[in-house]
A and B are shown apart, each in its own frame.
Chain A
């Protein structure tokens, strides 16, 4: 099973709202990722968690706050977003090899976020 699930599928929020995106995998993967994808553009890496610790933060504004409660779950907390933050938010996971090399990232279907 190579499934990464994301909820909700769609989210509409106002600029003053607080909401959260959720991601779950049961493949025993130890690395999890958040990406942002605008229409007709490639995914842009936002955060990487490796063994439940934040290992990469690509200078993302503080209105996006990631959380990794355990090795299967990844959340993205949203607060005071701007209309330009509207995008497809993708979660991915991988085995999280620590001894050199890269391994396959498996993506979820994404959450389509609209900020009004």
Chain B
């Protein structure tokens, strides 16, 4: 019930391309669906998050798409930049607890 599967494990994208990372969960009680970005040696930072009452949210180059019936949500990074190179975690949760996915290491090459 608590399992969170994230894919792909790693992703290499050329500058200007689109990066897509997927997250699948099992617990239907989750009510908060964030993506965190983590640079080496730093703590995770919230990138974008969505609640289950909407299917899509866009903030600048970052978009979350949410499919409640499929229990999946994804992160789209448009016009990917070398500065986006980092590890991305989905972390769906409820109340005080987030369940982190396994992480996706994104590398954007110029």
Chain A residues engaging chain B, CB cutoff 8 angstroms = 4, 31, 33, 40-45, 48, 50, 55-56, 90, 92, 94, 96, 100-110, 112
Contacts and interface: CB of A to CB of B under 8 A. Distances in A.
A44 B42 CA distance: 15
B95 A102 contact: yes
A90 B102 CA distance: 17
B31 to A, nearest CB: 6
Given A31-B96, A101-B32, A102-B95, A42 B46 contact: no
Given A50-B96, A105-B46, A41 B32 contact: no
Interface of B: 31-32, 34, 36, 41-46, 49, 51, 89, 93-98, 100-103
B34 to A, nearest CB: 7
B49 A104 contact: yes
A102 B42 CA distance: 23
B100 A102 contact: no
Given A31-B96, A55-B96, A100-B31, A108 B103 contact: no
